[in-house]
Structure 1
Amino acid sequence: MRRQDFGELNAFMAVAEENSFTRAAAKLGTSQSTLSQTIRRLEARLGLRLLTRTTRSVAPTEAGERLLETLRPAFEGIDSKLAALTQLREKPAGTVRINATEQVAESVLWPALKRLLPDYPDLEVEITAESGLTDIVAGRYDAGVRLGELIDKDMIAVRIGPQLRMAAVASPSYFARKPPPRTPHDLAQHDCINLRLSTRGGLYAWEFEKDGRELRVRVEGALAFNGGRMMVTAALDGFGIAYVTDDFADHAIADGRLIRVLEDWSPPFAGYHLYYPSRRQLSPAFALVVDALRYRD
């Protein structure tokens, strides 16, 4: 195989995984026109159409899917070998890519990383903030961060934060208009701020538990968001009751801007965990980041 072939194949992988020439060009640090020419050259050399292009999207053809299945493990093996070479350096070096929500990136990842990075000038960390559940293997991330109960069993999970609890909260002005609910069933009489689950497409059914009794409540209201921040903002502005993990609302509860209700119906559960494939060979750089993020009571 010619050396230039590796560049063409890498370009194809980027477009196929991003489903976009624009995003792939930005990822590779090249122009969209240059990337398009590279793909056309690869297709011409193979005599196959690898990508289906429309005005709105780009997707692999059947031949493209087969090629992608061959390339992914091959390139992952190359990446692993290159990462292993950093062991020869005096200090760990390389890039670590993590997928997490924006809230976790700011409240958990950054506090640990800002202490770590000054001592390791050759270490690079790339964080992608997304609210939905992402396939970190397909996305070629080193790790992801989600709540412990949402992580697949075939992943290695490392606890990076304390236990969390759900918090039903609303502003004092809202409760001046309506009496606070005493049980989850009372939520039927309230304006509730819904959470749209971006991965699953539906609205989150609020989960409660007390004395071993579990309840899932479908609530109603005029507002729905796909993240906790806007839910809390709407609650602060008096538009109803939001149900979020307490790390979104603890400061506003502490200073009285939000009032917490149904607290006895929200027991603690596993907090944020860093997770990665069990078959992954840890590079020195990745192992360093994992240790820096590990939660210590």
Structure 2
Amino acid sequence: MDAIQNGWFSEINDLWPGQCFSLKVKEVLHEERSDLQDIKLIDTFAHGRVLILDGIIQCSEKDEFSYQEMISYLPLCCHPNPENVLIVGGGDGGVAREVVKHPNVKNVHQVEIDGRVVEVSKKYLPNMACGFDSPKLTLTIGDGFDFMKKHVGQFDVIITDSSDPIGPAVSLFQESYFALMKKALKPNGVICSQGGTFWTDNEHVKATLDHCRKQFSTVGYAVTSVPSYPCGQIGFIIASTNEGHALKTPKKVFTAEQLDSMNLKYYSAETHRAAFEGLPRSVAKELYS
């Protein structure tokens, strides 16, 4: 799956046919085939170090914060007191880095299926993998399905930081996965999952939302800007077991001083509200019809 030619890496995939995103490569720092997927870590001129799984960009040093902060703080700030949190996936450590900053969070369990992603990230992406060093966090290398089956009713918030719906991540976009998350939540729990971008496949976003709606009382779709992702935008499926939960309105609002002390570069109460609003009219009609 070597997509590097003439010094450029190109993200070519059938999930977004007819287009690709390319980065000029300084150096290939690491590449291997784990038991589950191809892992590549490159250093680029425009985006710094970039983690690539099965040919798809997972994060870059330049813009990772917008994704990590929003997938973490949207659900955390939707919950009145998110003491116990589960992260499924997130082997680069970025979501863990953000979740442990939240002052209400006491315990974080993370389940990542591919331990090699964790080890590679610790070596080459220390600014993200520092999340693994928190005393709040317990890391398990294993299957998130199996873990949740054994931990029913234990979490206030569950965050699924998955890759795109190919390979080992396909099952994380199905109704059976949302049902499992629901069982693992405490009453009034909140979930957040990577939900894809409407620009490349709005049918997939709609299908994932529909899977979630069959299990959760309140469901929303929020977006953020990540230049190194397809079309520069990614969405999140956010849901609550509490009917009528106002997902757009954060229950926890940080002051500017708190945001600075937590080193948050993207998330705020304003970006929280805006993430749910301003969808193109045609997209909103399809997703919420």
TM-score bracket for the superposition, by shorter chain length: under 0.3
Greater strand content: 2
TM-score for both structures, normalised by structure 2: 0.26
Greater percentage in helix:
1
Higher relative contact order (CA closer than 8 Å, sequence separation 6+): 1
The normalised TM-score by structure 1 is 0.25
